[in-house]
Amino acid sequence: MKRIALVLLLLIAVPLAFACGDDDNGSSGSLKKLTIMLDWTPNTNHAGLYIARDKGWYKDAGFDVNIVEPASGGVDAVIGTGKADFGISVSEQIIPARAQGVPIVSIGAIIQHNTSSLMSLTKTGINRPKDLAGKTYGGFGGALETALIKKFVSCDGGDPNSVKLIDVGDVDYLVGMEQKRFDFVWIFDAWDAIRAREIEHKEINTLPFIKYTDCIPDWYTPVLATSESMIKDHPDIVRKFMDATSRGYEYAMKNPEDAAAILSKAAPEADKALMLASAKFLASRYVDQGRQWAKQDLEVWTKFEQFLRDAGLTDKKVDVSKAFTNDYLPKK
């Protein structure tokens, strides 16, 4: 699962013909048609969506749900303009999008904390952030990548300017590192790290961002999102959607084996062993114990917005209190 979220948002409105109410009465029989746009191909981040559909919980809520893969221009503009009713996004795209006037809103954190890391082969000798100095990073060439890596290295006393950053795009990271084209990459622990360790049996080291929050902030990635207009005009739909989706993710936490099986039906080309291992990994990470799934904190959004602005990735302050809401989570 390569990280398309590393590239800052291209605000392109894609003319899709599937959104709430796109037919004469916005329904299919007695069910309301809804489209959910993913941020990538189906994977364990999306488990609750597929479970809710497979178990009939969306139908019980009155919805005929269509889950689609992302548009070529990105997800945020499509969601923000209402051309998809709901979708998967990330804080690092929502904040710049809102800075440019895109009315997208996060309605739930799919995973409680950032589960991404910098990964390298063990033989490269990268054991802590300052070890990245003098090494080569392979990524998408995004401004956020540069800002995070330089901050990461400098916090540990290394020279951030000695890190070489090259744009490698969507490649097999393990092959690239073994060929010594680059030394480290940014990956998802729940997918790429598991694939490397448990499926490919490679000796790797990871530097999880969440272990270094004294240097870089935690942030919500991925999130469920919708548009301001959907919230304003159809709050009942948003609430029912989140009720059913919450059931899906709660089921995934308790039944990772079944979650993997349901996802495998949606993505038969995916490695089943990887899907299962990933589902088990995320089962205890979707939410902290004792906390409601999907709930977001203003402090997390505020610190990350400040980080983006300090790094020059946004040029004006974004009111993050309008970038997310907990109002549509199930009442406990």
Domains and CATH numbers, the chain: 4-111+220-322 (3.40.190.10), 116-212 (3.40.190.10)
Give tens-digit pLDDT for 87-109: 999 999 999 999 999 999 999 99
Q: What pLDDT is recorded for position 177?
A: 97
Nearest to 44 by CA among 222, 232, 236, 306: 222
- Average pLDDT score over residue span 26-32: 70
Range 279-307 average pLDDT: 97
**Bridge partners of residue 139, in order along the sequence:** 167
Give percent above pLDDT 90 in the chain. 87
Asked if the peptide bond before residue 208 counts as cis, ω within 30 degrees of 0, the response is: no
Structure tokens at 18: 């599937």
- Give the separation between CA 44 and CA 263, rounded to whole angstroms: 7
Q: What is the mean pLDDT of residues 112-128?
A: 97
76-99 per-residue burial string, b: 16 or more CB within 10 A, e: under 16: bbbbbbbbbbbbbbbbbbbbbbbb
The lowest-confidence range among 62-76, 196-210, 257-271 is 62-76
The whole-angstrom distance between residue 166's C-alpha and the CA centroid of its chain comes to: 23
**What pLDDT was estimated at residue 169?**
86
Please write the tens of the pLDDT for every residue from 161-220: 999 999 998 889 999 999 999 999 999 999 999 999 999 999 999 999 999 999 999 999
What the block records as the tokens of 280 is: 């088990």
How many C-beta atoms surround the C-beta of residue 25 within 10 A? 8
Structure tokens at 36: 């959910």
- Residue 234 or 21, more confident: 234
Token pair belonging to 285: 């990470």
What tokens were used for 185?
């990459």
Whether the per-residue pLDDT at 3 is higher than 70: the answer is: no
Angstrom CA distances, 154 to 76, 127, 162, 268, 269, stand at: 32, 15, 11, 43, 41
Helix (H, G, I), strand (E, B) or coil at 148: helix
Burial zone of 190 (CB within 10 Å; 0-12 exposed, 13-18 middle, 19+ buried):
buried
Contacts of 324 (CB under 8 A, 6+ apart): 94, 105, 106, 107, 220, 223, 296, 301
Residue 17 has pLDDT above 80, yes or no: no
Mean pLDDT (the chain, rounded): 91
Say how far apart CA 77 and CA 295 lie, in whole Å.
24
Q: Specify the DSSP element, H or E, that contains 260.
A: helix 256-266
Quickly state the pLDDT bin for 29 (edges 50, 70, 90).
Answer: low
Query: What pTM does this model have?
Result: 0.91
Residue 96 or residue 6, greater confidence: 96
pLDDT of residue 261: 98
Residue 14 has pLDDT above 60, yes or no: no
Query: How far apart, in whole angstroms, are the C-alpha atoms of residue 125 and residue 9?
Result: 34
Q: Is the pLDDT of residue 266 over 70?
A: yes
